[in-house]
Amino acid sequence: MGPGDLHALLAAVRLPPDPQEVLVGARARDDAGVYRLSEELALVQSVDYFTPIVDDPYTFGAIAAANALSDLYAMGARPLVALNVAGFPPKGIPAEQLAVILQGAVDKLQEAGAVLLGGHTVEDRELKFGLAVTGLADPRHLFTRSGARPGDQLVLTKPIGGGVVATALKAGQAASEDIAAMADVMCRLNDLVDPLRACGVRACTDVTGFGLLGHALEMARQSRVGLRLFADRVPLLQHARQLAAAGHVPGGTRHNMEWVAPHVSFDAGVDPLTRLVLCDAMTSGGLLAAVPGERAADLLERLRPRRPPALALVGEVLPGPPGHVHVSTGAGGAGTL
Ligand code: CO
Ligand code: CO
């Protein structure tokens, strides 16, 4: 569901007032919900599932797990337990394939230090798989979308363009090396909470269905600040631009473009294709984090040994206009490291 539709739907539901233990609830539009258990401990929960992105079932399971866990990391939580959620067609797909998908997910959970407790599978016309995940966080040190302040720098930890490559793959038009590169990026855990916390991260989210621009816009709105992104510094999957130019653009990406349009401005030098790719709806993208400007160099140094798929200072936080994102052509150019 597109971001605009989702917000309209939530607005139509009469939610009872949250008990005070709810630190981040359904109204907050953050990456995951947070429920305080004690002064030092909070539960962090999220769920995500979707149709296959890649043909290989093991890789699909691993991507589904990395993607679900990403919302926990984006809140500053440590993954603890998970439940799988699956829709499986009664005919046409061998049942062993579900086992392989689950194996990919279980191995990825293990890498994250989390345990699969069980799950639920229903018959469905289309194969779907995902996970509900639960983590633990210190309620005094949550990473929300609302803490970015003027002077902060924006760090991105994976390239964008995964939606474009996945759409080309579905059309049989993606090269095997582009599929492999996309799958590698999507399988990688956003397990970067410790270095982010050590550098005083102020706001954090992960880049998924709303695209980099959509998620940046959510951060700008909820932090009541302006953001500037430098288009030339944003890391892209190789050939993402060419594939988008050839028309392999997910419907979600075009929706994102329309949704962000009233709140985003571009330098004239930012071409239409770049604007589109900046909105690319992807799965299991990187973390977009705002850190105090004076800590940015230290953060990059601490992140580098973790070998994130990309590591770039892609923008900065401005005093205003609040809830607005401006995309500049590259200024300074030294952002990609
Ligand atoms: Co998220
Ligand atoms: Co968050």
Nearest ligand, CA 77: 2
Q: What is the pLDDT of residues 295-315, one digit of tens each?
A: 999 999 999 999 999 999 999
pLDDT of residue 10: 80
Q: What is the pLDDT of residues 210-221, one digit of tens each?
A: 999 999 999 999
**pLDDT value of position 200:** 96
Cα(83) to centroid of ligand 1, in Å? 18
| Nearest ligand atom owner, CA of 144 | 2
For residues 10-39, average pLDDT: 90
| Residue of 274, 184, 199 lying closest to 233 (CA atoms) | 274
Residues in CB range of 102: below 8 A, 6 or more apart: 61, 84, 116
Whether the pLDDT of residue 7 is over 90: the answer is no
User: Is the confidence at residue 334, as pLDDT, over 90?
Assistant: no
Q: How far is residue 138's CA from residue 159's CA, in Å, rounded to a whole number?
A: 29
Distance 77 CA to ligand 2 centre (A): 10
For the cut 60, the answer to whether the pLDDT of residue 203 exceeds it is: yes
- Helix axes 251-260 and 211-223, enclosed angle (nearest 10): 30
Residues whose CB is less than 8 angstroms from the CB of residue 313 and which lie 6 or more positions away in sequence, other chains included? 153, 154, 155, 233, 296, 300, 335, 337
| Cβ neighbours of residue 76 closer than 8 Å, sequence gap 6 or more | 137, 138, 141, 142, 143, 193, 196, 197, 201, 204
Contact 201, 289 (CB under 8 A): yes
Of residues 95 and 65, more confidence is placed in 65
CA 247 to ligand 2 centroid distance, Å: 32
Query: Cα(211) to centroid of ligand 2, in Å?
Result: 15
Question: Is 80 exceeded by the pLDDT of residue 333?
Answer: no
Q: How far is CA 174 from CA 239, 243, 249, 265, 311, in A?
A: 9, 8, 13, 31, 25
Q: How far apart are CA 86 and CA 151, in angstroms?
A: 44
Q: 266: CA distance to ligand 1 center in Å?
A: 25
> What spacing in Å lies between the alpha carbon of 146 and ligand 1's midpoint?
14
What is the pLDDT at residue 30?
A: 86
pLDDT of 5 reads 75
pLDDT tens per residue, range 257-275: 999 999 999 999 999 999 9
Model confidence band, residue 29 (pLDDT cutoffs 50, 70, 90): confident
State the amino acid at position 297 in one-letter form. A
Residue 250: asked if its preceding bond is cis (omega within 30°), the reply is no
pLDDT at 331: 58
Going by C-alpha positions, the residue among 170, 171, 164, 182 that lies closest to residue 281 is: 164
Centre of ligand 2 from the C-alpha of residue 219, in Å = 9
Q: Does the structure show a pLDDT above 90 at 288?
A: yes
Mean pLDDT confidence for 116-135: 95
Residues 6 or more apart from 6 whose CB is under 8 A from it? none
Other beta carbons within 10 angstroms of residue 316's beta carbon come to 22
- Per the structure block, which two tokens stand in for 296? 């940015």
What per-residue confidence (pLDDT) applies to 335?
A: 42
Question: Are the beta carbons of 82 and 109 closer than 8 angstroms?
Answer: yes
Calculate mean pLDDT across residues 135-163. 96
Question: Does 255 or 96 have the greater pLDDT score?
Answer: 255
**Residues ≥6 apart with Cβ < 8 Å to 55:** 169
What is the CA(71)–ligand 1 centre distance, in A? 5
Per the model's pLDDT, the better-predicted residue between 153 and 6 turns out to be 153
> Taken in order 47, 48, 49, 55, is the CA torsion positive or negative?
negative
Q: Give 151 Cα–ligand 2 centroid separation in angstroms.
A: 19
